[in-house]
Amino acid sequence: MSITAAYEKNAQQFPEKVALQTEDESISYRNWYQLICQTANWLASIKRPNNVVGVFMQNGLPFLQLFSSASEAGLVVVPFDVKWTTTEIKRRIKLSQPSMIITMNDKYQKIKEIDQNVIVWEECLGEIKRMPVYRETEMKEDLPFYMGFTSGSTGEPKAFIRSHESWVQSFACTQFDFHISKDDHVLIPGSLIHSHFLFGAISTLFLGGSVYLLSKFSPAQSLEFIETKPITVIYVVPTMLEAFLKDGCQTKKQLKIISSGAKWEEFTKQRIKEMFPNSFMYEFYGASELSFVTVLTDDDNKRKPGSVGKPCHNVDVQIRTSTGDVLAPNEIGKIFVRSNMLFSGYLQANKLGIHPFLTENGWMTVDDMGYIDAEGFLYIIGREKNMILYGGINIYAEEVEAVLASHPEVYAAAVVGTSDPYWGQVVSAVIQGRAKKAELRRLCKMKLSPYKIPRKWYFLDELPLTTSGKIARPKIIEMLERKVNGD
């Protein structure tokens, strides 16, 4: 089954229902299905050296139309972020090798200077409208359809590949774990370049719900949509919630909040509950390579606030030693996951084909460290790649960040290891907010062992973020190392 397999059924069952609504346009399920068929037929008619198609567009109906149609046509879609620099785009084009890149008029000049195989979307609309409004092809479940990018510890991009089957199986988690159905109205306020928001939109269209899409994130506009539209679900990342809180956004509307990207701290959760008193929060742990792993509901959070929840529908989780032995409850080790939602593998530079990273019997890890308690709840200690080696002692950056983020005047905090000739690395904290260094040091002394307290402190107006809203650690490390070296 493909990610678009339900569109025909949805069009038959509720043809006039809103499938997708933006700030200035709305489309029904009947018209959405016809658009996907026509666009898929148009894409299939184009001669290409390979099946990889790039998308260079901002949020909007055309982005989702093109993404869904290319998937329906059996192609692999590669979204490129319009905010990336020329160098970043060039690296990703070299890695993914798209046969063509489809863009809008206003982005044409930027991408044309980088790649010659560019098609302007507006110039193709007439040809698309002349295509048949039906499709008779049958999709293979294991066929790849989506290529995204993730960065390693060096900041160099890696391309990951997802199959239709992995996302369709993930849709089951949307139903079983988040209890989202065709009756929901789902707000997608973030960039579709981020898998979390792209998945939120595509899964809603598969299930038959209505998608409400913003062109770019704005706390005020998100709140306006929540208040004026029949919104029941909103997909967010923690930085968005901080923006809501900072702007003083409040609503008494009943909402399901689906969050990914980083662990919510308890203090932040309490503030969210005060601003959104009738919300029901779902915090899930996952990764681009793993899809959903665990989910923590409101009720579970009351008992296990430090946990990221229990395994999702049809997911197995184990904690293992460095030699592969399975650990007992409450013992810290590397987190391994097994499910039918795992990615197909990485596309590596200068190597042909997709290279899977599965271990024996289908287990996989992204090198996160943690433990499972006696009741089966998973706790994340930190990522192995974020670990700071201080005089031979391992310090997890996330543990220190959690303490710093608990201060009410800290809007965001990042902790990294910076080079030191004696200790190897020392703990360095980068703070966004109005908290004073002395206050933060006292807080750390109360909650952390002495060796975990940051030795160096930096205060910034804004922390550098990735396009998905996560803290850009490689950029922070590079910036701090320049300061240390006096550059």
Q: What string of H, E and C letters represents the secondary structure of 437-449? A: HHHHHHHHHHHCC
Q: What HEC string does 239-280 produce?
A: HHHHHHHHCCCCCCCCEEEEECCCCCCHHHHHHHHHHCCCEE
> What are the two backbone dihedrals, phi and then psi, of residue 410, each rounded to the nearest 5 degrees?
-105, 115
Q: Looking at the structure, do residues 369 and 414 belong to the same domain, yes or no?
A: no
Q: How far apart are CA 60 and CA 212, in angstroms?
A: 10
Chosen domain end from 379, 399, 423: 379
What is the domain extent for residue 432? 391-484
Bridge partner list, 163:
144
CA gap 258, 145 in Å, rounded: 24
Residue in the block written with tokens 């650690």: 473
Asked whether residue 298 falls in the same domain as residue 362, the answer is yes
pLDDT tens, N- to C-terminus, the chain (487 residues):
899 999 999 999 999 999 999 999 999 999 999 999 999 999 999 988 899 999 999 999 999 999 999 999 999 999 999 988 888 899 899 999 999 999 999 999 999 889 889 999 999 999 999 999 988 777 666 789 999 987 644 456 788 999 999 999 999 999 999 999 999 999 999 999 988 999 999 999 999 999 999 999 999 999 999 999 999 999 998 778 878 888 888 899 999 999 885 566 666 777 888 889 999 999 999 888 899 999 999 889 888 888 899 999 999 999 999 888 999 999 989 999 999 999 988 886 655 455 556 666 889 988 888 999 999 999 988 777 788 878 767 788 888 998 998 899 998 899 998 888 778 789 999 999 999 999 999 999 999 988 899 999 999 998 887 765 677 888 888 888 777 555 4
* Boundary of a domain, candidates 313, 348, 379: 379
Mark whether 285 and 430 lie in a shared domain.
no
Both structure tokens of 78: 């590669």
Domain end point (choices 344, 379, 414): 379
Same domain? 265 vs 408 = no
User: Is residue 456 located within the same domain as residue 433?
Assistant: yes
What is 305-373 written as a DSSP string?
Answer: TT--BEE-TT-EEEEE-TTSPBPPTT--EEEEEE-TT---EEE-TT--SEE----GGG-B--SEEEEE-
| pTM of structure | 0.83
- Of 21, 105, 34, the closest CA to residue 61 belongs to 21
Q: Pick from 305, 302, 265, 262: which is nearest to 286 by CA?
A: 262
On whether both 92 and 14 belong to a single domain, the answer is: yes
Contact predicate 355/348, CB 8 Å: yes
Task: For the chain, report the end-to-end CA distance as a whole number of angstroms.
Answer: 54
- Same-domain status, 206 and 318: yes
Residue type, 259: S
Q: Do 323 and 408 belong together in one domain?
A: no
